[in-house]
């Protein structure tokens, strides 16, 4: 749940199901003069509801074309997320032709993270995408997924979703947020730089990475590199371990 008031999204299932395939295509492909980047985007971020799931499943393939079926979220997995931790699942809805269309989403769960042993795979962390590792008493919010429709990137969709996660972490008095950041820009430098060298140059703003640069702008810090983390050839199957601490965290008082 987001603390600031948000307009109620359209409840029309047809708008949700057909929106991503038809409305976005018509608005951003058939008429170049009204491309996504020239539209004054009206965006609402709300908790995911069952009627959003069909569009989000299709959005997964568009956002992560290199991931395997096992690494992508499907209808059953999204449904499980809502059962386990509904307040940690967010969707970004854009108003397009008077319809609210999913253009991005993020999935999260609570965990106690071992910073002494950081190496892990994506599938292990997210329990093959089911998020059954969710601990209702966990001190950290783990970002299992952050995806934005390719035609709506650079329009603050990801930023709004990160704001929703940050608000949740603060409201629940968590230590902060953790995620594995992919490095899709690394493929252009793989012949000349190691992953570590590439990450350092992105951190120094000498290079730009479509994913990591955005996360750094949103207040995340790089805490290490996760090797053989995920099936993503662009990133050499690596990710960066990123952390955004909650400055308002108050340690829990011992009982008794």
| More confident position, 255 or 243 | 243
> Which tokens is 216 given?
């750094």
Q: List the chain domain ranges.
A: 13-245
Q: Which pLDDT does position 179 carry in this prediction? A: 96
Query: For the residues of the chain, what is the DSSP string, one character each?
Result: --SS--PPPP--HHHHHHIIIIIHHIIIII-GGG-GGGS---EEEEE--GGGHHHHHHHHHHH-TTS-TTTS--HHHHHHHHHH-GGGEEEEEEEETTEEEEEEEEEEEEE---TTS----HHHHTTTTT-TT--TT-SEEEEEEEEE-GGGTTTTHHHHHHHHHHHHHHHTT-SEEEEEE--GGGGGTTTT--HHHHHHHHHTTSS--TTHHHHHHTT-EEEEEETT-SS-GGGTT-EEEEEEE-TT--PPPPP-
| More confident position, 12 or 55 | 55
Cα(244)–Cα(168) distance, integer angstroms? 13
Cα(157)–Cα(64) distance, integer angstroms? 16
Q: How confident is the model at residue 24 (pLDDT cuts 50, 70, 90)?
A: very low
User: How do residues 177-214 score in pLDDT, each as one tens digit?
Assistant: 999 999 999 999 999 999 999 999 999 999 999 999 98
User: How do residues 27-56 score in pLDDT, each as one tens digit?
Assistant: 444 433 334 444 578 999 999 999 999 999
Are 89 and 108 a contacting pair, CB within 8 Å? yes
Predicted confidence (pLDDT) at residue 7 exceeds the cutoff of 60? no
How high is the mean pLDDT of the chain? 86
**Is the domain defined by 13-245 classed in CATH 3.40.630.30?**
yes
Q: How confident is the model at residue 154 (pLDDT cuts 50, 70, 90)?
A: confident
Q: Which pLDDT does position 12 carry in this prediction? A: 40
> Which tokens is 41 given?
């985007």
Please tell me the pTM assigned to this model: 0.82
91 Rama class: left (phi>0) / alpha (psi -120 to 50) / beta: beta
Handedness of CA 129, 133, 136, 140 (dihedral sign): negative
- Cα–chain center distance at 136: 20
Q: How confident is the model at residue 67 (pLDDT cuts 50, 70, 90)?
A: confident
Q: Which pLDDT does position 249 carry in this prediction? A: 97
């Amino acid at each position: 749940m987001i603390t600031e008031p948000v307009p109620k999204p359209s409840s029309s299932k047809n708008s949700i199901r057909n929106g991503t395939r038809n409305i976005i295509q018509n608005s951003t492909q058939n008429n170049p003069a009204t491309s996504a980047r020239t539209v004054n985007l009206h965006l609402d971020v709300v908790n995911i509801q069952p009627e959003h799931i069909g569009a989000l499943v299709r959005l997964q393939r568009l956002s992560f074309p290199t991931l395997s079926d096992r690494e992508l979220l499907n209808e059953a997995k999204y449904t499980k997320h809502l059962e386990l931790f509904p307040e940690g699942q967010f969707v970004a809805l854009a108003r397009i032709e008077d319809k609210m269309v999913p253009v991005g989403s993020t999935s999260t769960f609570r965990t106690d993270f071992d910073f002494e042993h950081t190496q892990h795979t994506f599938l292990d962390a997210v329990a093959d995408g089911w998020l059954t590792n969710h601990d209702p008493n966990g001190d950290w919010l783990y970002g299992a997924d952050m995806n934005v429709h390719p035609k709506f990137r650079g329009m603050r969709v990801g930023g709004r979703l990160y704001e929703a996660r940050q608000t949740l972490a603060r409201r629940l008095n968590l230590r902060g947020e953790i995620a594995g950041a992919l490095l899709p820009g690394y493929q252009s430098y793989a012949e000349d730089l190691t992953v570590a060298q590439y990450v350092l140059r992105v951190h120094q703003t000498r290079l730009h990475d479509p994913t990591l640069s955005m996360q750094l702008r949103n207040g995340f810090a790089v805490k290490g590199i996760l090797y053989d983390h995920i099936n993503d050839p662009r990133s050499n199957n690596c990710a960066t371990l990123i952390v955004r601490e909650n400055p308002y965290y108050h340690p829990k008082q011992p009982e008794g």
